[in-house]
Amino acid sequence: MHIGKLTTKYIIPIGIFFFVALFIVGIKFFVIKVGVDQVGVRTRIWGVTRGIVHKDYGPGWHRAISGIDQWDLYDGTVQTLELAKEPSYMGQRDARREAALRTADDYDVSVDMAVKYQIKKDEAWKLRQNIGVGERYKVIVENETRDIARSVFGKMVERDLYNPGEKRKRAAECKILLTERLVPRHVNVIDVLILEMRFDPQLERKIKNIKLAELDYVLNQSKALAAEQRGITQTIDADTEALAQKITGDKERALTVLDAEASKRITELLAEADKYLVQKKAEGDLYKQQRKADGTLLIKYSQAEGERLRREALAGLGGDIIVAMEAARNINLADVSISSLDLNLLDIDDMATRLGVSDTKGKLRVDTKTFKQIQEMLNQPKGTDTTKPK
């Protein structure tokens, strides 16, 4: 129990302290940290394979055993070399000044410029091997920049110093030459910028006077050209007005001709339409009269045919049946005494024969319609029926 309390109170805290101290010592003497904006180059001082390791180490923790490994850290971001009289310190913070040069027409000029560059990817170990440790590569970049600036901008004359296009052209040429020189030094040139050009006041006044003279010359030329163009414009205006009047007259004339032709065509079309209407109306009246005559003829023919058929019917058996039917209609059964033993009123054939229909075939055939008419006549109610069978 006493040993457990002692362990909890002393041994565990001591162990934790020892582990933390060991971790700190390990980080201090066995590990190095490469920042996110850095590139690490490792050199083996002791061992079988001594020398610079042919590899760039990116951000993170890497082995750094004291006495065995040596590390050099380089800036892996885009760097700025600023050669200016009053630098903004966005690049290296030292006493560097602008690039001083002499033009082709023997004038002293100072150029403020900025160079954007970066160590080439995966070649920091080559830079360490060929140039050396530290910031020697920055000195090389500055020296090469100054040398190329003197050779490129030294070709300019006083007229080029105020020409923006010429400045951009010289800056592009400077970038090309600087790239050719720094690529073997494992440095990539991103861009070359011309910030400002300064020269002595006497040259500045001379350049201003030249520029003013050029501007006056251009102004006079512009005025003369404007006067010439004004005369041309007036001539064009007169020609345009005449052309517009001619076009207006031609338009009105063409419209008059088109209107006359359209009126003539409309009149012709209306005449043709009236002619067509009269012709079709006459044809319609003729067709109507023909059909009406055909209908009248057909009606007359049907009436004649009906009369002929009626006469034929009356001349034969049909006439006898009609006479018998009229006789049956005129019989007043209230005044006649009929014996049912001698006469069967429901025997149609016998009744037809008794009423005067001749029976040439021995048997009379009465159609259903005639039979129904006779039956309805016999079934009519009587006011005073005194008939009794005997």
Instruction: Give yes or no for residue 93 having a pLDDT over 50.
Output: no
Residue holding tokens 């001709």?
Answer: 257
Please spell the DSSP secondary structure of 267-320, one letter per residue.
HHHHHHHHHHHHHHHHHHHHHHHHHHHHHHHHHHHHHHHHHHHHHHHHHSHHHH
Tokens of 156: 């300019």
Q: Where are the domains of the chain?
A: 2-75, 79-199, 201-315, 317-378
Instruction: Provide the whole-model pTM.
Output: 0.48
Residue (of 112, 99, 103) closest to 197 by Cα position: 112
Give 174-194 pLDDT, tens digit per residue.
999 999 999 999 999 999 998
Distance CA 36, CA 224 (A): 65
Distance CA 72, CA 87 (A): 28
Tokens of 241: 């007005």
What is the predicted pLDDT for the residue at 148? 92
Most confident residue range from 3-7, 170-174, 345-349 = 170-174
Q: Percent of the chain, pLDDT > 90?
A: 21
What is the predicted pLDDT for the residue at 172? 93
Tokens of 208: 């201003």
Confidence of residue 9 (pLDDT cuts 50, 70, 90): low
What is the predicted pLDDT for the residue at 225? 86
207 vs 302 pLDDT, higher one: 302
Q: Percent of the chain, pLDDT > 70?
A: 69
Domain 79-199 has CATH 3.40.50.300: no
What is the predicted pLDDT for the residue at 143? 92
What is the predicted pLDDT for the residue at 354? 65
Distance CA 321, CA 312 (A): 13
Per mean pLDDT, which range of 160-164, 240-244, 253-257, 321-325 is the poorest? 321-325
Considering the chain, what is the average pLDDT of its residues? 78
What is the predicted pLDDT for the residue at 387? 41
